[in-house]
Chain A
């Protein structure tokens, strides 16, 4: 059995508070910033950082091997690329 991460089991409360701060930031951006491309980019970026800390610290991915990290992160990077391409396509083929 692998218990490689057992020695790193202490919860990093700084990360927890950082995640809570990021939640406040995304809601602040959503409610108080006027709509537009900049708002979308900012919100998606902050959410991506929030997701990173969730994955890296709460899911303990940072304690896994480099190969496993790459096996998981490279396909996810492809998803973000696809997201960007389809967003641009949607604007190009807009109904209006």
Chain B
């Protein structure tokens, strides 16, 4: 009799029933956390590769006034990313990327508000904050598109492509496209997921289910996109 009880309890644990919560988290939330961990490994692979090449090439040394782009020296981000929309001829080093960072951080905060509203079962408020998050994501992605177009335009008619660029070593532009592109893909899929969850919120799916945990899960993904941006920003633009 006792052996039956033991095997039943083991079955319950590994089947993941309604009453069993490994690590005290629901199945979906736990899987989201581990998916994000695996995604962190993918991004780390890309960023560590970037860091490797960044350190392998010499950095510019000397007065900033004498700075000139060279294929043998890793370019200074503060000299590459100086453009700002509607301000032609005005150089604002890293100004636009700072604005992009604030937009993404703001959309992370609206996600926090949506999750909180969900915990209070306030459907209208969840909808409002999710729309704000989606709009923030779309603005960020549009900014990235603008930045790519300026980056590709290059300097003095020399365009930046995967086979060469006017800023520095070829691998610099290659890694810029791959890393920011992969991050942009995450932002895009985050927007799509947010739209799907927003639709479900609107038709009352989670209201009927009795909880808004799905908003929390998609929120985790959105915060992760923001988290990755911290490191993309650090490696590609700041060091």
Contacts and interface: CB of A to CB of B under 8 A. Distances in A.
B37 A72 contact: yes
Nearest to B220: A59
Interface of B: 18, 21, 23-26, 29-30, 33-34, 37, 40-41, 44, 47-48, 51-61, 72, 76-78, 93-94, 98, 101-102, 105, 108-109, 112-113, 115-116, 119-120, 210-211, 213, 220, 223-224, 226-227, 230-231, 233-234, 237-239
Q: Is the interface of B mostly helix, strand, loop or mixed?
A: helix
User: What is the interface residue range for chain A against chain B?
Assistant: 35 or more
B30 A68 contact: yes
Interface string A34-71: 01000110011001001100110011000011011001
24 contacts: A2-B26, A3-B119, A3-B213, A4-B25, A9-B115, A9-B119, A11-B113, A23-B101, A26-B233, A35-B61, A35-B76, A47-B233, A47-B234, A51-B227, A54-B226, A54-B227, A68-B23, A68-B24, A72-B33, A72-B37, A76-B40, A90-B55, A94-B56, A95-B56
A90 B239 contact: no
Contact of B52 (A1, A10, A26, A86): A86
